[in-house]
Chain A
């Protein structure tokens, strides 16, 4: 089986092609900017160096969030478009699970003003504290894993794409048309709008 994996939700961009249980190409760099410009050239390189064409892919695994709203949309638009056009099954993955894939603990993404996107995972990638948008709390299981800087100690994430794929290989594929980002957070305009409606 041939799989494509895309994660552009955090500052760390991952694009990987997996052929019969082995990684045949991986881009895994924490460069943090211009995902929209870099994504397609990296994808083109992934396919050419794996001697594959997009239509050869049997399943797409794409991170749908949480994380950078724009970053999520860049990777998800590519994955959705490819899945729709070539009729390839597509499976959504959590960015926090990717971050905790090589080192169990609580993955954190800084959401500013004391808030975080947080999710705790055990060594079998079970989501023991569900992915949430929340005020940072000490009660979350250590170690803390993040690409971002905090005023407490965090470990740098280790991405284990094969482990994630193994866990989700048999997940039900979703309809690419209805696959949405998992922002875990309303827009500020919506928050204000619903606040007003509540009062």
Chain B
């Protein structure tokens, strides 16, 4: 079964063709990052405008790369949420139009289900598993006993981890997008700053706004005293706290639920500090760890096409009145 999937929830226009949920036939990702960098972050209206300008070009490119025709496609899948509503709508309308004119199933995919199923491109998921979802909008621990069964164990109470990275980057004058650069700088620095470990308790929840504020206050105080902060050391100190708490709570969830499979999903899965720490912890505990290759950590339609296959097998198809949702729970 060939699924053509569309993802446009934020600032990437992406189209992918996936065979049977595991084989990537073609993927095209058009990133708008360079444009949004001018504004220090994603501007929703600009993102929507760029999606509508590029959507058919990206669809066409994905078909050409696959050497396929639209009539070879068995179903159309699309991210319906969560995300920027104007951006989501472009992908959604394109997918609905294609499903309508070719009279094929329309499969709605939750963006986070997509990130989770990106791991299925590495290796067929083995259940039960724990998924650590870490991105600019999400920080969650999810227990999956089978395909498309998502039990949320905990989540962030305030900022998402990627959001905290971007805000800390701004405070220490690291340009947008800050997350990857802070990660890189962390490896050049030492853990010299006295920062708190955030929400270091027995729950599966996270909190990053306190840690972020601690960085802001520390930087502010140093500057008041006329001292420049050591950017690499601050990046290292911040990243160490973040990675510590993410790894600690993830390993606790694995142990408590007696699960031996861990997958990591979302943009922050590209973070080298986190990848290394999780790899080591999983080795020590004999846990099977899957992390998507770097290109599937950020937003892409391949993961949507993979998730769509398993959604379709469970009968999850939508009507032509499917709408986009800025906020929606994973279920």
Contact = CB atoms under 8 A, between A and B. Distances in A.
Interface of A: 34, 36-41, 43-44, 54-55, 69-70, 73-74, 76-78, 80-82, 84-86, 176-177, 180-181, 183, 187-190, 193
A177 B323 contact: no
Contacts of A188: 45
A177 B56 CA distance: 6
Contact of B97 (A73, A82, A180): A82
**Considering residues B45, B55, B97, B320, which has the most beta carbons from chain A within 10 angstroms of its beta carbon?**
B97
Nearest to B41: A189
A40 B89 contact: no
A81 B90 CA distance: 10
B61 to A, nearest CB: 10
B101 A85 contact: yes
A76 B90 CA distance: 9
Contacts of A82: 97, 101
A154 B122 CA distance: 61
B55 A81 contact: yes
Contacts of A181: 49, 52
B97 A78 contact: yes
Nearest to A47: B100
Contacts of B114: none
Secondary structure dominating the interface of A: helix
B48 interface: yes
Contacts of A74: 89, 93
A187 B49 contact: yes
B59 interface: yes
Interface in B85-125: 85-86, 89-90, 92-94, 96-98, 100-102
B331 interface: no
A54 B101 CA distance: 6
Contacts, number: 100
B144 interface: no
B45 A189 contact: yes
Nearest to B97: A81
Interface residues of B, number: 35
27 contacts: A36-B92, A38-B321, A39-B93, A40-B96, A40-B320, A54-B100, A54-B101, A69-B48, A69-B49, A70-B85, A70-B86, A73-B51, A74-B89, A77-B90, A78-B93, A78-B96, A78-B97, A80-B56, A81-B94, A84-B59, A84-B60, A85-B98, A176-B56, A177-B60, A181-B52, A183-B49, A189-B43
Given A77-B90, A181-B49, A188-B45, 20 more contacts: A36-B92, A36-B323, A36-B324, A40-B100, A40-B321, A41-B321, A44-B320, A69-B45, A70-B48, A70-B86, A73-B89, A73-B93, A76-B52, A80-B55, A80-B56, A85-B102, A176-B56, A181-B52, A187-B49, A189-B45
A177 B319 CA distance: 26
Contacts of A39: 93, 96
B53 interface: yes
A77 B45 contact: no
Contact of B53 (A37, A43, A180): A180
B97 A40 contact: yes
A38 B320 CA distance: 8
Contact of B90 (A40, A73, A85, A176): A73
Contacts of B153: none
Contacts of A80: 52, 55-56
A140 to B, nearest CB: 27
Cβ-closest 6 pairs across A and B: A40-B320, A77-B93, A81-B97, A54-B101, A84-B56, A187-B45
B38 interface: yes
A28 B53 CA distance: 27
A36 B39 CA distance: 28
B157 interface: no
Contacts of B90: 73, 77
Contact of A55 (B51, B92, B101): B101
A63 B89 CA distance: 17
Interface string B163-191: 00000000000000000000000000000
